[in-house]
Structure 1
Amino acid sequence: MQSTLVILAAGMASRYGSMKQIEGFGPSGETIMEYSIYDAIEAGFTRVVFIIRKDFADNFKSIIEPKLEGKIEVDYVYQELTSFTEGYNINPERVKPWGTAHAVLCCKGKIKEPFALINADDFYGKDSFRKAFDFLQTRCNEKTYALIGYELPNTLSEHGSVSRGVISENEKHEMAGIKECLKIYKKGDAIIYEDEEGGLTELPEDTKVSMNFFCYAPGIIDLCEEQFKEFLAKNSQSLKAEFLIPTMTDYFIKSGKGRVEVIVTSAKWFGVTYKEDAPVVKASVTHLVEKGEYPDNLWKQ
């Protein structure tokens, strides 16, 4: 059975300040997502679908396609502000698309098989792709999805706060809920969550978080379409409201539509949220290459 990797690459990179999806971090100029694709191919994935914006499609394709030719099937989905908004009065001042669940909705008609979903600018580690592929091949169905859960301390930035989906589990290691915490940071030896009112909560070291690495059956796309209509009915005039995939996954559980396995990885995540993260990511990649986990040129024939 074909397994597809879907990569969220349409973000505007507002915090980072440049098009980080196509910035080179590897010794031969590899992007972060190229390491994800390499790991995915190694794990058994046979297709990759990039969700991008039309305005940088040509640049994106010119960089990616020569590297991946003959290695994995490649396809594209375009996420635009106006996608699936017919019949709604959208605020004319809004520029930014509607978030990650909207991005998944934009895959309607393109994806008809189980798929894994990741961010373009996060390094997830080989273990995550192996576990995701195994799940998609053996247990994924329209009533059973999964997410790859990371240990919170393995996902923080030294240079500012991060947004994380904090996972709660039941006794069967299934997701009971997910709470989007938009401001998490280290303060001394503690990990702090600061809510929108400025309230502070210390989070335990063993907190599991989502890094937007999910495994779905294609029915999630129809669910996003259904719920996006309700979202727009309330938020069509908003400049900032986002329709997020963690929220949709939480809805999938709490509406009784199915269960979501929490597949825990001990892999250390790293990614680029801030400019200051870039040297750390480059050093981390270099270290993995020196250890022999990756070649110094991922796509060398």
Structure 2
Amino acid sequence: MKPTLLILAAGMASRYGSMKQIDGFGPNGETIIDYSIYDAIKAGFGKVVFIIKEEYVENFKAIFDTKLEGKIETDYVFQNFDLKQYGIDIEIERSKPWGTAHAVLAARHAIKEPFCVINADDFYGLDAYEKMVKFLTTEVTGSNYSMIGYEIGKTLSDYGSVSRGVCKVSADGYLEEIIERTKVLREGEAIVYEEDEKQYPLSLDTRVSMNFWGFTPEMFKISEELFRDFAHANKDNPKAEFFIPLVADSLLSSETADFKVVPTDSKWFGVTYKEDKPIVQASIDQLVKDGVYPENLWK
């Protein structure tokens, strides 16, 4: 059974200023999602599931359904504020959804096979998809999950600091801890993170999580139980977010599952800021010129 690609595309894009999930970056207006799916099909994925807001479903279908027909199975699931579906009876007022791990739960009825999770607005590179497919078809179990680990220097923006999940990796290549560094940036040739108005260096080969995870469907039940506890504990905190690394940390702490850190040398492209767009466009143009992608991706 081929694995499934689960795309997180329900974010608000507050820093970017528009719906970057369906913004055009390729020579013919291709979205970053287009390149992700193209690489996923080439790597061996058999299905793509979009997690979106329900009000955007027609926008997404208009962009993706026709071009993907006959190439890969597609499905759409919706992230919303309904807590009763998770057995949570209290009312909690929020202006934003509950975060990435909550979004993944929206796909619990749509996925029955090993799957990976990616961000809609991140360009990951073919190598990462190929390595994830290999893991999901040969190594994954309900207690052995994975995460693609990127070199931190290949993930930064030139237009501001970024948050990065900095990974502590064991000698045998397994995740020991993810430490969220909220202000990571370049200082000349060095990479640093800021904390309490001080700067601390990070090694250029430090591995970071870019939210590219590999799971089995058993993860849904575990996450649902954790989310119930999280929602009750944060009923008075409207900004609390239930992130995938929180689930990973819980599984590691309870020794319920391990996470293999699968290294990739791919360069990650991101569009955190509006100013990042021409950089991403230029990077994709170069990949087209180098023959990595055809000029018209779906022709």
TM-score category of the 2 structures, normalised to the smaller one: over 0.9
CA contact 1:88–1:232 (8 Å) conserved in 2: no
CA contact 1:166–1:179 (8 Å) conserved in 2: yes
Cα deviation digits, residues 247-296 of structure 1 (max 9, x gap): 21121112110211111001110110000000000000000000000001
Query: What are the within-5 Å matches in structure 2 for residues 135-214 of structure 1?
Result: 135-195=135-195, 197-214=196-213
Post-superposition offset of 1:199? 4.2
Letter aligned with residue 250 of structure 2: Y
1:87 aligns with 2:86: no
Post-superposition offset of 1:181? 1.8
Partner-residue secondary structure (3-state), 1:211: strand
Match of 2:220 in 1: 221
CA contact 1:89–1:237 (8 Å) conserved in 2: no
CA contact 1:100–1:244 (8 Å) conserved in 2: yes
Match of 1:36 in 2: 36
Post-superposition offset of 1:156? 0.1
Partner-residue secondary structure (3-state), 2:148: strand
* Structure-2 separation of matches of 1:168 and 1:239: 30
Post-superposition offset of 1:30? 0.5
Letter aligned with residue 42 of structure 2: E
1:101 aligns with 2:112: no
Match of 1:9 in 2: 9
Letter aligned with residue 283 of structure 2: S
* Structure-2 separation of matches of 1:6 and 1:198: 37
In structure 2, the CA distance between the partners of 1:132 and 1:29, relative to structure 1 (3 Å rule), is same
Letter aligned with residue 292 of structure 1: G
CA contact 1:167–1:179 (8 Å) conserved in 2: yes
Query: What are the within-5 Å matches in structure 2 for residues 234-273 of structure 1?
Result: 234-273=233-272
CA contact 1:178–1:247 (8 Å) conserved in 2: no
Letter aligned with residue 57 of structure 1: V
Match of 2:74 in 1: 74
Partner-residue secondary structure (3-state), 2:13: coil
Post-superposition offset of 1:225? 0.3
Higher mean C-alpha deviation, range 99-108 or range 279-288? 99-108
* Structure-1 separation of matches of 2:197 and 2:79: 33
User: Structure 1 stretches of 5 or more lacking a match?
Assistant: none
Identity of aligned residues (%): 53
Post-superposition offset of 1:188? 2.3
Letter aligned with residue 262 of structure 2: I
Root-mean-square deviation (Å): 1.2
CA contact 1:16–1:272 (8 Å) conserved in 2: yes
CA contact 1:147–1:263 (8 Å) conserved in 2: yes
Post-superposition offset of 1:236? 1.8
* Structure-2 separation of matches of 1:198 and 1:59: 43
* Structure-2 separation of matches of 1:61 and 1:246: 30
How many residues matched? Answer: 297
Query: What are the within-5 Å matches in structure 2 for residues 284-295 of structure 1?
Result: 284-295=283-294
Letter aligned with residue 109 of structure 1: H
Partner-residue secondary structure (3-state), 2:116: strand
CA contact 1:144–1:260 (8 Å) conserved in 2: yes
CA contact 1:155–1:269 (8 Å) conserved in 2: yes
Match of 1:47 in 2: 47
After TM superposition, the score normalised by the length of structure 2 is: 0.96
